[in-house]
Amino acid sequence: MTAHRATAFLAAFNDIEQHLRSALNAENSDSFWWIVDKARDKHVLSSKQAEALKDFSNLRNAIAHGRYYRSEPIAEPNEAVVKQISALRDIVVSPPDTLRVLQPQKVFTLTSATSIMEAFNVIKDKDFSQIPIYDEGRFTALLTTNTIARWVARDLSDNHMLDAADIADIVEYKEPSDRAIFLARAVSVQETVDALSETDSQGHRPCAAVITEHGKVNERPLRLVAPADLPALFDALEWE
């Protein structure tokens, strides 16, 4: 049983190492820890996955290079560890795509000339908190409920503002945090999670990701990824 678990562990570890070396064009002289750090920096691995692989590498070294007793390694992985590294191998070698993990969703877009009342109806009926604004086939802004709230707070004294205002008036009140990033159709779950977690020079995270064919602002949106989608993405990266 020990030899079987050790063999299964080493097979999974080797699959991961070979995949990472190939994906990063690593040299034979590059250490496994260096490769793991590089993969984390390039959004191939999460920090949690990277730390787990470093721990697994210590066990790999103990099995492969440690002492043996009656032809079996003294260091042996338990069944739970074998299951963990096998599950992690599946995620690393075949990383899940964001569009495969998330449920299909029609992306509603509006234009700068759309009335705010129409935007209110979309927000109410669809329970959206962000709506991409496209003008002449190109993304121009992200309308958020936070932007609307700031506009209402500043212009509340005007009794006719709701009837007269369009989205172009509202987006003038957007702040740096009211922004979207663009990702390509093939974006992995890990890349999406990392992109939504990264801050700009002012410390603001994006409040949505727009997925298009090639991640371009002049392409039709395929999916809007909002913070509410993060739990499903985190679940897709879980291996423990």
Per the prediction, the chain carries an average pLDDT of 89
Q: Read off the pLDDT of residues 17-45 as tens digits, 9 standing for 90 and up.
A: 999 999 999 999 999 999 999 999 999 99
Spans of all domains in the chain: 2-94, 101-236
Class of domain 2-94 as given by CATH: mainly alpha
Sign of CA dihedral 164, 166, 172, 175: positive
Residue 14 clears pLDDT 90, i.e. is over it: yes
Pairing mode, strands 68-69 and 72-73: antiparallel
- From residue 190, alpha-carbon distances to 15, 40, 42, 227, 235 in Å are 19, 10, 10, 14, 11
Q: Which of 182, 149, 147 minimizes the C-alpha distance to 168?
A: 147
Looking at the domain 101-236, which fold is it?
CBS-domain (3.10.580)
Which of 128, 100, 141, 106 shows the shortest CA–CA distance to 232?
Answer: 100
Residue 1 has pLDDT above 50, yes or no: no
Q: Residue 29: its pLDDT value, please?
A: 93
> What pLDDT, in 10s, does the model give residues 99-120?
999 988 889 999 999 998 888 8
Q: Which residues contact 5 (CB under 8 A, 6 or more apart)?
A: 76, 77, 78, 79, 82
Q: What is the pTM of this model?
A: 0.85
Q: Over the stretch 121-166, which tens digit does the pLDDT of each residue have?
A: 888 888 888 999 999 999 999 999 999 988 887 766 555 566 668 8
Rounded Cα distance between 103 and 139, Å, is 23
Spatial CA neighbour of 96 closest among 196, 188, 160, 208: 188
Cα 211 from Cα 184, distance rounded (Å): 6
Pair type for strands 138-144 and 130-135: antiparallel
Over residues 59-104, the pLDDT tens digits come to: 898 887 656 555 665 567 889 999 999 999 999 999 999 999 998 8
